[in-house]
């Protein structure tokens, strides 16, 4: 199924085909004569939409107008992914000169109008309105109270709009109407309570409004900053022409006076200066909400790219808000590898601050003068105590970043983008010499029942889809498996030589060879299999074992063919220093023996050769999984550039693995071509 449009912008909307339920949107006029061309699409009531109307009539095709929905995105930049679109075959909601599908729904003329009388839908409306108010949701959803203009209680908010706004032009408003709106507010309320909200671009001289000079002449306070939706609760009333802020005020129980004809006027919920005879039905707030927020827009999940409900979008917005709450500080990033910086900037998303990147050499002489004491430095991982970065930041506020535990399809050493990162302002999870934020959470956080249920669900997903930190496809069939079926096996997990988790998480046994010798000494009759780290197998790193003949003496097999997940399933128990494979083995119910101090050791779930006195709490595997896999990391959807959940990340990895399996085991020239591509993606990433 195809669609035709004159607009190049519509075609660039992510997931536009899902919104329109078509395979492709084309600007090629030849599509108009195809049997499977569904409609002609235009954006709202822009001037070219008239030409689109003519084309549709001549080709006997429907003309469908599109607009942003009322819960549109997180942020209002051109790169923000759209959560909803209005797809209207009748008109468009802000054009009061003709009916729209929204107006027809409310007037009882649409095939879905009967749902406005459905008890379940009305109860749903109550729950959704409460959730929207509690979560401070509005059209663009990027504001918190701390980053917005604060309105004192009793404020009478008069909302100005910009000249040329289509909703003004088609909503029965003009300059005289806006002036009358402010005059009316001053006649009925003390001048000191009246505030005019102008668009920031108006005071910056980029656009023109209607009330700026008129309000200044009357010495009325002007505000040009953003107003978070929860600040509307402080309003005595809102005066508006056609702004969506009026609807958002209604949802919060604020009185609204309309001087134009927005979609929410004329249904008995607002004090209207203009009557519109077509709107003759009295509607409750719940009915208006169901019509405008549930039935009228279409929603598409930005992560799964599938149609979804408004509830799914509110859940997604909650994830965005939670993740941004973690970035409450301003960071100066030091010594971050250039290919990681653009990804890192997405994890540190802020609307009020651009995070700086400094090289280590920039700290040699002094702290840069434009780095304030409120800044935190952010470094990658944990450097040696005598390293240049650690020396210069010894007395500074430092947070550390590392890969999360569900990371990517492909190796980080091949410059594959990370789908999860952790920011730790206490320590870092692999450094057992001091507490970390993860350790503090594991020691003190009390999981709720619903969180434990979620952890169980995630564990099942990880096992079903065989997900590990670096999800690398490999053959798990053939003769190699027969070896494990006839022998009870102990699996020894290799790590990269000199890895930071070994330097800061081990004591007596600090190398792969020492680990293998210790396991053999304790289990002289056992069948031992040594599994090198994927970075070692790929040739990107070394495991520190120069004399490979010792492996033949100590081990019955060196496993380089089967993927880690398969091998762990086939083995009886797993021995490791600090590898995350030990955690993944716990998820399978395997016995895990640790010879170092990984983050998952010391909680009663592993057999530990070492001990950390700080860790004195017994945890269930569900508690360990919820805190370390769900609560501690941040997950980023690389395609949309938005935060996501651990569960959706797993499904994204499964989909990516299915589409890229061949490239994951590439060798030789093909491998280096893939590395160059990955580096380029990192350096140019701009989701």
Distances (CA, A) of 341 to 97, 378, 400: 50, 12, 14
Q: What are phi and psi for residue 353, nearest 5 degrees?
A: -160, 140
pTM of this structure:
0.88
Domain boundaries, the chain: 2-98, 136-262, 443-668
pLDDT of residue 686: 76
Q: What are phi and psi for residue 82, nearest 5 degrees?
A: -80, 135
316-334 pLDDT, tens digit each: 999 998 888 877 677 888 8
pLDDT of residue 275: 95
Distance CA 47, CA 315 (A): 36
Pairing assessment for the beta strands 376-380 and 331-334 based on DSSP bridges: parallel
35-48 pLDDT, tens digit each: 899 999 999 988 88
pLDDT of residue 352: 47
Angle CA(233)–CA(293)–CA(147) in degrees, nearest 5? 40
291-314 pLDDT, tens digit each: 999 999 999 999 999 999 999 999
> Per residue, what are the HEC states of 661-673?
HHHHCCCHHHHHH
348 confidence band (pLDDT: 50, 70, 90): confident
Q: What are phi and psi for residue 491, nearest 5 degrees?
A: -100, 125
Paired tokens of 407:
């990371």
Reported CATH class of domain 443-668: alpha beta
Distance CA 385, CA 475 (A): 42
**Could you tell me the sign of the dihedral formed by the alpha carbons of 217, 220, 225, 228, in that order?**
negative
177-197 pLDDT, tens digit each: 999 999 999 999 999 999 999
pLDDT of residue 368: 52
163-178 pLDDT, tens digit each: 989 999 999 999 999 9
393 pLDDT above the threshold of 60: yes
Residue 269's CB: how many other CB atoms inside 10 A?
20
Distance CA 634, CA 649 (A): 11
pLDDT of residue 84: 97
147 pLDDT above the threshold of 70: no
- Average pLDDT on 503-510 reads 93
Distance CA 5, CA 354 (A): 37
500 pLDDT above the threshold of 80: yes
201-257 pLDDT, tens digit each: 787 778 899 999 999 999 999 998 888 889 999 999 999 999 999 999 999 999 999
Q: Which single residue is written with the structure tokens 């979620």?
A: 454
CB 4 within 8 A of CB 23: no
Span of 135-139, 393-397, 624-628 with lowest mean pLDDT: 393-397
- Average pLDDT on 665-669 reads 66
477 pLDDT above the threshold of 60: no
Bridge partners for 484 per DSSP: none
Distance CA 159, CA 178 (A): 9
Answer whether 136-262 and 443-668 agree in fold: yes
Paired tokens of 381:
């991982």
Share of the chain above pLDDT 90, in %: 67
Distance CA 190, CA 447 (A): 51
Mean pLDDT of the chain: 90
pLDDT of residue 555: 94
Distance CA 351, CA 176 (A): 35
CB 222 within 8 A of CB 196: yes
Helix or strand holding residue 481 (H, E): helix 479-485
20-75 pLDDT, tens digit each: 999 999 999 999 988 899 999 999 988 888 999 999 999 999 999 999 999 999 98
149-161 pLDDT, tens digit each: 889 999 999 999 9
Bridge partners for 378 per DSSP: 333, 399
599 pLDDT above the threshold of 80: yes
Residue 412's CB: how many other CB atoms inside 10 A?
18
426 confidence band (pLDDT: 50, 70, 90): very high
pLDDT top residue among 78 and 502: 502
658 confidence band (pLDDT: 50, 70, 90): confident
CATH topology for the 136-262 domain: Rossmann fold (3.40.50)
pLDDT of residue 660: 67
- Average pLDDT on 573-588 reads 96
Distance CA 304, CA 294 (A): 20
């Amino acid at each position: 199924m195809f669609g035709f449009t004159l607009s190049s912008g519509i075609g660039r909307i992510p997931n536009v085909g899902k919104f329109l339920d078509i395979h492709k949107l084309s600007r090629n006029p030849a599509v108009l004569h195809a049997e499977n061309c569904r409609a002609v699409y235009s954006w709202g009531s822009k001037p070219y939409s008239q030409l689109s109307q003519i084309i549709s009539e001549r080709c006997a095709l429907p003309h469908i107008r599109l607009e942003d929905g009322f819960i549109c995105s997180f942020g209002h930049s051109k790169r923000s992914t759209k959560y909803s679109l209005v797809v209207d075959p009748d008109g468009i909601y802000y054009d009061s000169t003709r009916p729209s599908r929204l107006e027809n729904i409310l007037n009882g003329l649409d095939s879905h109008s009967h749902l406005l009388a459905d008890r379940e839908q009305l109860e749903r409306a109550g729950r959704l309105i409460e959730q929207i108010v509690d979560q401070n949701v509005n059209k663009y959803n990027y504001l918190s109270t701390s980053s917005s203009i604060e309105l004192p209680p009793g404020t009478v908010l008069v909302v100005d709009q910009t000249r040329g706004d289509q909703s003004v032009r088609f909503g029965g408003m003009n300059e005289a109407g806006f002036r009358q709106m402010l005059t009316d507010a001053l006649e009925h309320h003390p001048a000191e309570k009246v505030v005019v909200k102008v668009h920031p671009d108006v005071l910056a001289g980029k656009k023109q409004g209607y009330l700026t000079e008129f309000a200044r002449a009357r010495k009325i306070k002007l505000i040009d900053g953003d107003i978070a939706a929860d600040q509307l609760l402080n309003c005595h009333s809102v005066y508006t022409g056609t702004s969506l802020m009026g609807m958002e005020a209604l949802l919060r129980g604020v009185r609204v006076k309309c001087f134009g004809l927005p979609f929410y006027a004329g249904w008995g919920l607002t004090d209207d200066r203009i009557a519109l005879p077509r709107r003759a039905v009295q509607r409750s707030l719940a009915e208006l909400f169901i019509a405008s927020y549930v039935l009228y827009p279409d929603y598409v999940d930005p992560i799964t790219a599938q149609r979804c409900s408004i509830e799914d979008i509110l859940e997604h917005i909650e994830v965005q808000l939670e993740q941004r709450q973690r970035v409450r500080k301003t960071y100066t990033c030091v010594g971050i590898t250039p290919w990681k910086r653009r990804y890192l900037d997405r994890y540190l998303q802020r609307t009020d601050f651009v995070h700086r990147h400094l090289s280590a050499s920039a700290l040699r002489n002094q702290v840069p003068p434009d780095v304030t004491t409120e800044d935190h430095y952010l470094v990658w991982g944990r450097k040696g105590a005598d390293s240049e970065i650690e020396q210069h930041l010894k007395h500074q506020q430092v947070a550390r970043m590392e890969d999360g535990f569900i990371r990517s399809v492909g190796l980080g050493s091949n410059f594959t983008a990370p789908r999860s990162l952790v920011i730790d302002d206490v320590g870092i999870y692999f450094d057992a010499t001091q507490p970390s934020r993860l350790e503090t959470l594991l020691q003190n956080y009390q999981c709720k029942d619903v969180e434990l249920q979620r952890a169980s669900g995630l564990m099942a997903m990880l096992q079903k889809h065989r997900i590990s930190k670096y999800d690398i496809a490999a053959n798990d069939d053939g003769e190699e498996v027969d070896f494990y079926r006839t022998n009870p096996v102990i699996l020894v997990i290799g790590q990269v030589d000199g890895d930071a988790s070994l330097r800061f998480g081990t004591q007596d046994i600090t190398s792969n060879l020492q680990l293998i010798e210790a396991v053999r000494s304790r289990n002289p009759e056992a069948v031992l299999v040594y599994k090198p780290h994927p970075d070692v197998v790929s040739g990107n790193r070394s495991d520190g074992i120069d004399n490979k003949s010792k492996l033949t003496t100590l081990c019955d097999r060196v496993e380089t063919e089967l993927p880690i997940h398969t091998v762990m399933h086939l083995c009886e128990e797993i021995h490791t220093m600090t590898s995350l494979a030990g955690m993944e083995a716990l998820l399978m119910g395997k016995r895990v023996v640790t010879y170092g101090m990984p983050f998952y050791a010391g909680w009663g779930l592993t057999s530990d050769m070492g001990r950390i006195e700080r860790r004195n709490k017994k945890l269930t595997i569900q508690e360990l999984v919820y805190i370390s896999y769900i609560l501690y990391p941040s997950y980023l959807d690389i395609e949309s550039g938005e935060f996501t959940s651990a569960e959706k990340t797993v499904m994204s990895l499964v989909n990516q693995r299915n589409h890229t399996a061949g490239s994951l085991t590439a060798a030789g020239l093909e491998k280096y071509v893939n590395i160059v591509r990955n580096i380029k993606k990192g350096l140019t990433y701009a989701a």
